[in-house]
Amino acid sequence: MIASLAHTIIAIIAALGYAGIAGLMALESACVPLPSEIIMPFAGYLVSTHHLTLIGVTLAGTIGSSLGSTAAYLAGATGGRRFINHYGRYILISQTELTRIEAAFARYGAITVLLGRLLPIVRTYISLPAGIARMNFWKFQLYTFAGSIPWCFALAYAGLRAGRAWNSSPLLQSTMHTLSLLTAAALLLLAAWYLSSRWRRWRAEASQSPRID
C-alpha cells in the first residue's frame, strides 16, 4: 500500500511537474493523509536531474500547502466540529486528537499555526482548529505561508542532495535500495498498527453510543 502510494505520487509529479507538486501538497494540507515526506523529496530529486528548480518546487509546494490549508480552514469555520463528526473517520482524525490540537491552539494562540506547519502530522490538521476558532483569516494565510516555506524547502533540498549522491555512487544506490525496502516494511507495519488502533477505538466508541430503536 505504501509502495503503491509512493509510485502514484512520483508518477503525478513526473507527469505534471510544478502543478502536480502544488496539487498533491494542497491535498496533504486539506487533511488528506498524503505524505509530504515523499512528495517534496522526489520533487527535489527532479531538481538534481535539471527537470525542475529548487525555488520552483519550494514555491509550488508552499502555494499548494496554502491552498489546501485554506480549504481546511473554511471547513472548520463553516462546519466546526460537525465536520469532524461526519468526515473525521475518512481523514483519520478523531475527536480526541482534534481536542488536543485545539488545546494547543487555545494555549499558544495563532503562533500554533506557524509552528504546526513545521511538524509532521500536525501540519496536516492544524488548519481545522484554526478555522473552528475563527482565527483572523489573513493572519492565518501569512502564518501558513511562512511556516510552509522552510518545510517544503528542507524536504526538497534533502531530495536534491540525495539525488546528486545517488547519481554518482552505484554503492549508494544499492544501499539506498535496501534501506528503502526496510523503510517501506516499517511504514507498512506502522500503518497496520495505526489502522488497527483506529478500528478498535471506533468499535469501542460505537459500543458505548446509545442505540435508538
Give the pLDDT band (50/70/90) at residue 211. very low
Mean pLDDT of 51-78: 92
105/191 Cα distance (integer angstroms): 27
Grid coordinates of 119: 511538524
Q: What angle do CA 161, 159, 49 make, to 5 degrees?
A: 75
Burial of 198 (0-12, 13-18, 19+ CB in 10 A): middle
pTM score, whole prediction: 0.70
Grid coordinates of 9: 505520487
Q: What angle do CA 152, 154, 160 make, to 5 degrees?
A: 100
The domain locations on the chain are: 2-168, 170-213
pLDDT at residue 5 is higher than 80: no
Most confident of 17-26, 107-116, 120-129, 194-203: 17-26
